[in-house]
Amino acid sequence: MLTMAGVTASDVVYDLGSGDGRIPIRAAKEFGAQSVGIEIKPELVEKARARARAEGVADQVEFRRQDLFEADISEATVVTLYLLPNVNLKLRPKLFRGLDPGTWVVSHGFDMGEWTPISTKEVQGRRLYLWRIPEAPPDFVEQP
């Protein structure tokens, strides 16, 4: 997912529903990016923080216990998702309103309805989807 989005050390990667923190930690360790994991379950946040310390990237990675629908994601240059299809669709308006044009969005396993990805890739039997936030939200996105 990180390679597909072209992550570099100048990126800020947000992983929504970060679980045990493997994606933000990899973004920091392998690509040098600052990264933020958003996770609602406190035990997973603690596990991810411990893992970041053990991997030596705690200074580059932050894990926040938050609802991904309420989190401020505006500083992200790349957003990664491994969420269920209905969650992706519910999240879509937030992505369009909360991210700058040009921000990359990568989803593992699930698309976003009529939002056509720039590219897709099969990895270990799962499909990855890549989009870029456009200048203006498409017509299919509900406006506030």
| CATH number, domain with residue 90 | 3.40.50.150
Q: How many CB atoms lie within 10 A of CB 140?
A: 11
Residue 137: inside a domain, yes or no?
no
- 11 has a pLDDT exceeding 90: yes
* 123: containing domain: 12-132
Residue 7: inside a domain, yes or no?
no
Residue 115: inside a domain, yes or no?
yes
- Express the helix, strand and coil content of the chain in percent, nearest 5 each: 25, 25, 50
The per-residue pLDDT for 143 is 61
- 139 has a pLDDT exceeding 90: no
Q: Which residues of 27-38 are buried (b: 16+ CB within 10 A; e: fewer)?
A: bbbebebbbbbb
Please give the model's pTM, rounded to 2 decimal places.
0.94
Number of domains in the chain: 1
At 137, the pLDDT band (50, 70, 90 cuts) reads confident
Assign 86 to helix, strand or coil.
Answer: helix
- 124 has a pLDDT exceeding 70: yes
Mean model confidence pLDDT for the chain: 95
Residue 27: inside a domain, yes or no?
yes
